[in-house]
Amino acid sequence: MAHRPLVFSGVQPTGNLHLGNYLGAIMRWVALQERYDCIYCVVDLHAITVWQEPQELVKSTREVAAALIAVGIDPRKNIIFNQSQVPQHAELAWVFNCIARMGWLNRMTQFKEKAGKDRENASVGLFAYPTLMAADILVYRATHVPVGEDQKQHLELSRDIAQKFNNDYAESIAGNGHGTEYFPLPEPLIEGSATRVMSLRDGTKKMSKSDPSEYSRINLTDDADTIAQKLRKAKTDPEPLPSAVEGLKGRPEAENLVDIYAALSGSTKEAVLREHGGAQFSAFKPALADLAVSRLSPIAGEMRRLLADPAEIDRVLADGTARAAAMAEQTMDDVRDIVGLLRKR
Ligand code: TYM
């Protein structure tokens, strides 16, 4: 059965959004709204899988919603809301907890990284994180999921869950008039020159909110001086930039800066090296800083404007919630029939 194309993606409200979130995901979400119906979710229930200060969480949820609007996602044309407002996500996640196998979740590298050495002390929520993610996507029966490279394994798991649900309940799915397959197998959209933006301090580590060094990342709200300073201090090697892509081999920091430049300018690594090949970093870094400031400072300005009126952000989220909940409840009605849970009366 062909499923109607629908895009879903999510972002956690855990502190500042950074250049990796922007280039790897959110910037690309803007373009997708021209071609697809899109649902973008601030995933606060995922955030609390590790400790969050309550006041900070509320603040970050509004900030991330503001960032989505500020980058150019139109909340009238798309759905923007926060996850905890639509309880069907958690409800479907429970059903998926009963579909997914312990062995599948045990293989998740993000859990291993986040739990660290003390796995016994990690929350059950952190372990079950990927089943909630599958529920986020599949409660809308979404078909396309634009994310950065680091979410690839979670999306494969979402596909496995959808497939196992379709297989386990095949008879009931057919019996309830849903054909041979109830859930689509969602496709990851991992595209562009910056699907994995690396730390500015270490080109082998991904840029991340949890890195203790502020100099490892550029935040969407950093001012021009901070952006220039962070790029000036970014780790590089002593060689000039090569003229061809092969010359970036074994030079992760150089490659990262070229990738960032390419993604920010909407071009390719090849084109960036044609223009800047042979340049020293002392010349390339200020050019990159100018480009980054020209792209990011209008977003930061728009975020400040939106955050001055939190009630308006709450209205946008409430409107998105109402539209999302109507779709999600339809799916849950079907799922209750398929699984054999009495329907709500
Ligand atoms: P989160 O909040 O960590 O990141 C949001 C998006 O940013 C991408 N990203 C990066 N891309 C390139 N380079 C980086 N250094 C970088 N760091 C982050 C992420 O890949 C992501 O696309 N589990 C998800 C949130 C989520 C979700 C979902 C996503 C919850 N439910 C359903 C898609 C569909 C997460 O933690 O993203």
Q: Would residue 201 count as lying in a domain? A: no
Tell me what the mean pLDDT of segment 36-48 comes to. 98
Q: What is the pLDDT of residue 193?
A: 86
Q: Would residue 287 count as lying in a domain? A: yes
Residue minimizing CA distance to atom 19 of ligand 1: 148
Residue minimizing CA distance to atom 5 of ligand 1: 11
In this structure, the answer to whether residues 296 and 318 fall within a common structural domain is no
pLDDT of residue 111 exceeding 90: yes
Q: Is 192 in the pocket of ligand 1 (CB under 6 A)?
A: no
Q: Is 136 in the pocket of ligand 1 (CB under 6 A)?
A: yes
In this structure, the answer to whether residues 166 and 313 fall within a common structural domain is yes
Query: H/E/C letters for each residue in the chain?
Result: CCCCCCEEEEECCCCCCEHHHHHHHHHHHHHHCCCCCEEEEECHHHHCCCCCCHHHHHHHHHHHHHHHHHCCCCCCCCEEEEHHHCCHHHHHHHHHHCCCCHHHHHCCHHHHHHHCCCHHHCCHHHHHHHHHHHHHHHCCCCCEEECCHHHHHHHHHHHHHHHHHHHHCHHHHHHCCCCCCCCCCCEEECCCCCCCCECCCCCCCECCCCCCCHHHCCECCCCHHHHHHHHHCCCCCCCCCCCCHHHHCCCHHHHHHHHHHHHHHCCCHHHHHHHHCCCCHHHHHHHHHHHHHHHHHHHHHHHHHHHCCHHHHHHHHHHHHHHHHHHHHHHHHHHHHHHCCCCCC
In this structure, the answer to whether residues 191 and 229 fall within a common structural domain is no
In this structure, the answer to whether residues 89 and 238 fall within a common structural domain is no
Structural domain span for residue 289: 214-306
In this structure, the answer to whether residues 144 and 68 fall within a common structural domain is yes
Q: Are 35 and 99 in contact (CB under 8 A)?
A: no
pLDDT of residue 64 exceeding 70: yes
In this structure, the answer to whether residues 325 and 299 fall within a common structural domain is no
In this structure, the answer to whether residues 130 and 41 fall within a common structural domain is yes
Indicate which residue of 206, 230, 235, 285 is catalytic. 206
Q: Choose the residue to mutate in 29, 39, 43, 209 for probing ligand 1, maximizing ligand atoms within 8 Å of C-beta.
A: 43
Mean pLDDT of the chain: 97
- Taking each helix axis from N to C end, the angle separating 310-339 and 281-307, rounded to the nearest 10 degrees, works out to 90
Q: Is 166 in the pocket of ligand 1 (CB under 6 A)?
A: no
Please confirm, yes or no, whether 164 is among the known catalytic residues: no
Q: Choose the residue to mutate in 9, 48, 136, 147 for probing ligand 1, maximizing ligand atoms within 8 Å of C-beta.
A: 147
178: number of Cβ within 10 Å: 17
Indicate which residue of 59, 164, 209, 269 is catalytic. 209
Q: What is the pLDDT of residue 343?
A: 84
In this structure, the answer to whether residues 28 and 44 fall within a common structural domain is yes
Q: Would residue 36 count as lying in a domain? A: yes
pTM of the model: 0.97
Q: Would residue 200 count as lying in a domain? A: no
> Structurally, how many domains does the chain consist of?
2
Q: What is the pLDDT of residue 2?
A: 80
Q: Please report the atom of ligand 1 found closest to the CA of residue 18.
A: 17
With CA atoms as reference, report the closest residue to 164 among 104, 111, 109, 107: 104
Q: Is 21 in the pocket of ligand 1 (CB under 6 A)?
A: yes
pLDDT of residue 47 exceeding 90: yes
Q: Is 200 in the pocket of ligand 1 (CB under 6 A)?
A: no
Q: Please report the atom of ligand 1 found closest to the CA of residue 198.
A: 15
Please confirm, yes or no, whether 230 is among the known catalytic residues: no
Q: Distance from the CA of 72 to the center of ligand 1, in angstroms? A: 18
Q: Distance from the CA of 68 to the center of ligand 1, in angstroms? A: 13
**What are the pLDDT digits (tens) for 134-176?**
999 999 999 999 999 999 999 999 999 999 999 999 999 999 9
Strands 187-189 and 79-82, sheet pairing: unpaired
Q: Is 12 in the pocket of ligand 1 (CB under 6 A)?
A: yes
In this structure, the answer to whether residues 180 and 221 fall within a common structural domain is no
Tell me what the mean pLDDT of segment 308-326 comes to. 98
Tell me what the mean pLDDT of segment 36-58 comes to. 98
In this structure, the answer to whether residues 82 and 182 fall within a common structural domain is yes
Please confirm, yes or no, whether 209 is among the known catalytic residues: yes
Q: Would residue 111 count as lying in a domain? A: yes
Locate 325 and state its tokens. 């909940």
Q: Distance from the CA of 14 to the center of ligand 1, in angstroms? A: 11
Q: Would residue 220 count as lying in a domain? A: yes
Q: Are 100 and 50 in contact (CB under 8 A)?
A: no
In this structure, the answer to whether residues 182 and 41 fall within a common structural domain is yes
Q: Choose the residue to mutate in 150, 153, 198 for probing ligand 1, maximizing ligand atoms within 8 Å of C-beta.
A: 150
**What are the pLDDT digits (tens) for 175-221?**
999 999 999 999 999 998 899 999 999 999 999 999 999 999 999 99
Q: Would residue 169 count as lying in a domain? A: yes
In this structure, the answer to whether residues 175 and 280 fall within a common structural domain is no
Residue minimizing CA distance to atom 33 of ligand 1: 9
pLDDT of residue 1 exceeding 70: no
Q: Is 217 in the pocket of ligand 1 (CB under 6 A)?
A: no
